[in-house]
Every structure is written in structure tokens, then in C-alpha cells.
Structure 1
Amino acid sequence: MIRCVRIWTEAGNSVFEEGSIALPHGERGDVLSHVLGARSISFRETRSGGAFAPHHAPTRQLVITLAGTLEFKTIAGATFVIRPGDLLLAEDTTGSGHSWRLIDDQPWRRAYVIVDADVAALFQPSTAS
């Protein structure tokens, strides 16, 4: 399972849910996702101690965290943590947005995968128990 947090805009504010990337296929002992069509990929690094004030995502994107642990916060005060290996599906391209801050001593290294609105992002919400 690959952990993924989806964040989107609802009634003008960013909200989120935890889930995973669907891995429905198997081959040689691995589990595989479907192919995701992406428009572009870029990489970025923020030094340890970094933070970013409330903002919305500039476009629909998957953010793959390679290093660093972050706390994300919505305007309503709800928080979640992203760790290395986690994905963030950022779909809150309007509204009040979210903020983040690094909470460990590592830089945040990440890849931004831009995904068009009509592309299935492979996100699967966690099932309620």
C-alpha cells in the first residue's frame, strides 16, 4: 500500500481525507497500479525548518515526498502529517488553501507530478471501520 492524502476544496475551504494508491494488479510478487497519465514532473527542495503560509495548489498535482516530514494545516485547523514515501493529491486549487511546515531536521525533497483534471488519479479513500 502507498499512503496518499487527498486535499480538495469544499464550500470554499480545503478539506482532506487519507487513503492509498490503488494497486490492483500483481506480477512477479509485486503489486502494481494502473498507469497514470501525467503532463509533467519537476523536483524541488526546501531546507529544514521551512514553512509556507496558507495557499492553494497552483494546479492539480501529486506531490511525492522523498525526504522530510511535514505537518499540513487547513484554515479550519485540521492537520495531517506527510512522511517520506507518502503522496499528496493536491486538488484544492481554489478557496482558503492549506499551509505546511517541516517538523523534522531534514530538507523537504519532493517531486511534483502535474495531472490533468480528466485523469483518474488512482486515489482510493480509506474505508471506515
Structure 2
Amino acid sequence: MNTKLDKADTPNYLKAVRLINIEEGKCDFETGRIPIRQHINTNYFFAQTDISLEHSIHPAPRRQYVITLKGKLKFTVSNGTNFIIEPGIILIAADTSGEGHTWEILDGNEWERLYLPLEDDVEDYFIAD
């Protein structure tokens, strides 16, 4: 588990984790934050509760913010390292190629989330720790 997420717990930022592609089609993650009151340039959003990809390794279908409304999940990247996502921690899925990541629900059997897709040339405003 990663304790770096505590650093972003300030009034001017939201905690965030960004999934990224690294060498040889592998996936890794960075912990950090995004500024509050920042306009995110996205044209649409959609909600999802489907959990059919649980335990399946996959890349993100597009760069996107994933806002968890309900659920606590453990994400695992290529080297076996993992991190927790729950309401209050923003996931930026940017691992759009290669093997990707896996996730599993830790509490209950639901994951309610919103997706905010990002165009390729749009800033994600992530600030790494």
C-alpha cells in the first residue's frame, strides 16, 4: 500500500493517482494531486456500475478521470505494486496501451463511478508527489 496519498490532503488539492505506461508495455502509477476549482476540459461523462473487468488485466480504453462514488478498490500494476482507490481519491487512467492494470473490490460488491474522458491533447492537471 502507498502512504504518499496523505501528502495531497490539503484544502487546495484533491488526492489523485495516475496510471501510466512505462517501458515494454508495462503499467505503473504515480501518486499526487490535482488542484481544486480547476476546469477540466471534457465534453461528456458517463456513469458505470459494471464490475465485469474485476481481476482482468486491461489497459484504459482512453485517457480519463475516474471518480469513485461508492466502493473501495485495490489496483495492481505490472510489477505487483498496488494502491487503494475510494471516494475522495481521483484516478487518472492514462495507461492506454500495453498490458494495463487489474483491480478488485475490497468492500462489498459494488463500484459506482463516473468517467470524464480526456482528449489526447488536453492537460490532466496532475501534480506528482
Counterpart position of 2:40: 36
Contact 1:4 / 1:88 at 8 angstroms: preserved in 2? yes
Q: Deviations over 1:58-107 (max 9, x none)?
A: 00110000010000001210101001121110010001100000001251
Number of the residue aligned with 1:22: 35
Whole-Å separation in 2 of the counterparts to 1:115 and 1:67: 22
Report how many aligned residue pairs link the two structures.
Answer: 115
Partner residue in 2 for 1:77: 80
Aligned partner letter, 2:30: E
- Once residues 21 and 80 of structure 1 are traced to their aligned partners in structure 2, the CA distance between those partners, rounded to angstroms, is 17
For the residues of structure 1 that align with 2:108 and 2:87, how far apart are their CA atoms? 13
Aligned structure 1 segments of 4 or more residues deviating by more than 2 angstroms: none
Give the TM-score taking structure 1 as reference length. Answer: 0.83
Q: SS in structure 1 opposite 2:45?
A: strand
Counterpart residue identity of residue 15, structure 1: D
Q: Secondary structure at the match of 1:37?
A: coil
- Greater fraction of residues in strand: 1
Larger relative helix fraction: 2
Q: Which has the larger radius of gyration?
A: 1
Residue in structure 2 matched with residue 26 of structure 1 by the alignment: none
TM-score (norm 2): 0.83
2:63, 2:94 within 8 Å by CA — same for their partners in 1? yes
- In structure 2, the partner of 1:63 is 66
Q: Does the aligned pair in 1 maintain the 2:28–2:78 contact within 8 Å?
A: no
- The unaligned stretches of length 5 or more in structure 2 are 1-12
Q: How far did 1:52 drift? A: 3.4
Kept in 2, the 8 Å contact 1:54–1:75? The answer is no
Q: Which amino acid aligns with 2:21?
A: T
Cα distance in 1 for residues equivalent to 2:119 and 2:55: 24
Q: 2: CA distance between counterparts of 1:68 and 1:16?
A: 20
Q: Are the equivalent residues in 2 in contact too, given 1:69–1:103 (CA < 8 A)?
A: yes
List alignment gaps of at least 5 residues for structure 1: 24-31
- Per the TM alignment, residue 53 of structure 1 is displaced from its structure 2 partner at its CA by 0.6
